[in-house]
Amino acid sequence: MPELPEVETMRRGIGAIQNATIIAAQRTPCSKRPIAISPPMGSFNKRISGKKIERIDRLGKRVVVVTEDGHRVIFEPRMTGLVLITQPPTIEHLRFRLRLKDCDVKELLFWDRRGLGNVSCLTDAQYQQKLLSGKLGPDALAISESEFCARFKSSGREVKVALLDQAAVAGIGNLYASEILHLAGVHPQARCNRLSVGQWNRIHQRMVEVLELAIEYEGSTLSDGTYRNALNKSGGYQNEHRVYDRAGQQCPTCVQAEIIRIVQCQRSTFFCKRCQKKR
C-alpha cells in the first residue's frame, strides 16, 4: 500500500502542475528516518531547476514527473508515502518538496510516515535502463489477456504470491490481489500451472474491473488512515472491499461462509473457502 489505484489517483490529483516550471527541489528538515533521495540534492537541482514539467506519468506503483528535456522525477511511495499538492497530514513526516512557478500550485510535496519511500531524478537513458529494461512487467491495466496468461501459466508459484511479482505484472499489491482472486473465484493457494486458460482470463477480467473501480473511488484508505489523495482526502474504495481485512465476517458473495485469513510469504491473504474452492 499504496497500490496501482492509489498511485494513479495521486498522478491524476497533481495534474495541475503540468506546464509549471520547477524552481528547485528541497529535502525538507525531518527528524524521522531519512528517505533515500538520489542523486545528491546539488546534482538533483542541476538536472531540473528551471525546467518545465511536460507531463505526469505512472509506472506501476510510482508517480513520474517528466520535464521538457526528458528528466524524470520519480516518487516511489512504498508503504506510507504520499504525493501531495496541499498541506500534508503532519509536518514532521514531510520529506521532500518541489517548488514551482507559472501555475496555481506552488509546491509538490512528498510525505512519508514510515520513511520507506524514495525520490529519484533520472535522465531518460537512466530511466530506460533502470526501470524499463525488463525490471518491471507490463502495467496491470495495459496487459492483454493472452500475455497475462502467458506470463503466469507455467509458474509453480501460488497464484496470490505470483500476482505480487512486479516483474511479471506491475501495479498489483496485497490488498487488490485478495479482492481480484475472490471475485474471480480462485483459491489464493492454487498453483499457477494448475489453472486453466479460462481461469486466467477470468482473473484478468476481474483485475481490470477491480482496479478501474478502485480508481473511480480514489483508492482505499484503511483503518490506519495513512493513504490520502493529492488533496489530503481519504479514498472510498475501502467501503467496497469484499474480503480484505474482513476475517471472521460473513462473505458478501455467498452469504454462507466466513472470510478466512492465511499468511503467504509473510503477507496476509483473505478469501472465502466456499467461493474460492481449492481444486
Q: Note the pLDDT tens digit of each residue in 186-242.
A: 999 999 999 999 999 999 999 999 999 999 999 999 988 899 999 999 999 999 999
What is the pTM (predicted TM-score) of this model? 0.96
Counting residues of the chain whose pLDDT is more than 70, the rounded percentage is 100
Q: List the catalytic residue out of 47, 58, 61, 246.
A: 61
Q: Identify how many contiguous H helices and E strands the chain contains and give both numbers.
A: 7, 11
pLDDT value for 191: 97
Task: Give me the residue spans of the domains in the chain.
Answer: 4-132, 145-272
36: β partners: 118
CATH topology identical between 4-132 and 145-272: no
Alpha-carbon distances, residue 8 vs 21, 208, 216, 272 (angstroms) = 22, 14, 10, 29
Average pLDDT, the chain: 96
Please confirm, yes or no, whether 267 is among the known catalytic residues.
Answer: yes
Q: List the catalytic residue out of 153, 267, 273, 274.
A: 267
Phi, psi of 271 (to 5 degrees): -160, 170
Q: List the catalytic residue out of 3, 6, 76, 218.
A: 3
Query: Please, are residues 172 and 159 in contact by the beta-carbon 8 Å criterion?
Result: no
Nearest CA to 162 among 130, 140, 132, 183? 140
What is the chain's alpha carbon radius of gyration, rounded to the nearest angstrom?
Answer: 20
Nearest CA to 13 among 218, 266, 189, 202? 218
Q: How far is residue 219's CA from residue 80's CA, in Å, rounded to a whole number?
A: 14
pLDDT value for 1: 77
What CATH number matches the domain at 145-272, 2.60.40.1180, 1.10.8.50, 3.40.47.10, 1.10.645.10?
1.10.8.50
Please confirm, yes or no, whether 97 is among the known catalytic residues.
Answer: no
CA angle 211, 213, 214 (to 5 degrees): 65
- Which strands form 53-59's sheet, in the order they lie side by side? 36-38, 118-122, 72-76, 62-67, 53-59
Please confirm, yes or no, whether 61 is among the known catalytic residues.
Answer: yes
Q: Which CATH code fits 4-132?
A: 3.20.190.10
Reading the block at residue 216, the C-alpha cell is: 473511480
CA angle 212, 213, 218 (to 5 degrees): 95
Query: Looking up cell 516511489, which residue turns up?
Result: 76
State yes or no: pLDDT of 253 exceeds 90. Answer: yes
